[in-house]
Amino acid sequence: MKTLLRIDGSPRKETSISRQLANNLQEHLKREGDSLLHRDLYYDDLVQLGNQDQVDAYFIPEDQQTEAQKAAVHNSNILAQEFANADTYIIASPMYNFSVTAGLKTYIDAISRVGISFKYTEKGPVGLLKNKKAYVIVTTGGTKLNSPVDHVTNYLTTFLNFLGITDITFISADEVVANQEQAIALAKEQISIL
């Protein structure tokens, strides 16, 4: 029995291609007894831009934090712990202006936490998340994935690796403007053989 954590990074709902593919992938992956958690990054009150108290609290032990810092870091604590506890991730990431959406970036800044998802060592930072599996769905309008202007694939690989997550499968529906139906069909085919 596993815990699947689905993370939706599109502000679009019914028309979102990444959500449609995440639905498909979720159905494909979820086994009886697995639990499914869902963070919908544009519609989740826990996902907010940080302030100074929040960022300061990232590096101050809880028993030494001010009340303002404790309050500011509360949501990040929940999101980071939830992320660390999950076994499998479904990350639906549309490309916005060559990178991830603001919602996904805000979430990333909340879950990347010293002592929860990584630690500092003499040799530099080391990820604390082991034996995890990540599926990343990337959708684009006209940008080819893995081209020099794709700042989603490499960025998410680097970030997940930083936390210790190295088993990553990308599912792509890129250049959907040219042929949306074909791009979706190809992505669903990728999912069906996982």
Ligand X SMILES: Cc1cc2nc3c(=O)[nH]c(=O)nc-3n(C[C@H](O)[C@H](O)[C@H](O)COP(=O)(O)O)c2cc1C
- CA 65, distance to chain mean position in Å, is 28
Q: What angle do CA 23, 161, 32 make, to 5 degrees?
A: 35
Q: At what angle do helices 67-85 and 102-111 cross, to 10 degrees?
A: 100
| Shortest Cβ 29–ligand X spacing (Å) | 19
* Interaction mask 143-182, ligand X, x per CB under 6 A: x--------------------------------x------
- Residue 10 as a binder of ligand X (CB under 6 A): the answer is yes
- Residue 17 as a binder of ligand X (CB under 6 A): the answer is yes
- Residue 16 as a binder of ligand X (CB under 6 A): the answer is yes
Q: Are strands 118-121 and 124-127 parallel, antiparallel or unpaired?
A: antiparallel
List the one residue out of 127, 109, 125, 119 whose CA is nearest residue 73: 109
Q: Show contacts with ligand X in window 73-102 (CB under 6 A).
A: 94-98
Complex with ligand X: residue 106 or 143, whichever CB lies closer: 143
Measured distance CA(122)–CA(113) in Å, rounded: 18
- Residue 140 as a binder of ligand X (CB under 6 A): the answer is yes
Binding residue count for ligand X, defined by CB under 6 A: 17
Complex with ligand X: residue 64 or 97, whichever CB lies closer: 97
| Shortest Cβ 180–ligand X spacing (Å) | 8
Residues 6+ apart with CB under 8 A from 117: 80, 83, 84, 111, 127, 128, 129, 163, 164
Binding residues for ligand X, per CB under 6 A? Answer: 10, 12, 16-19, 94-98, 139-143, 176
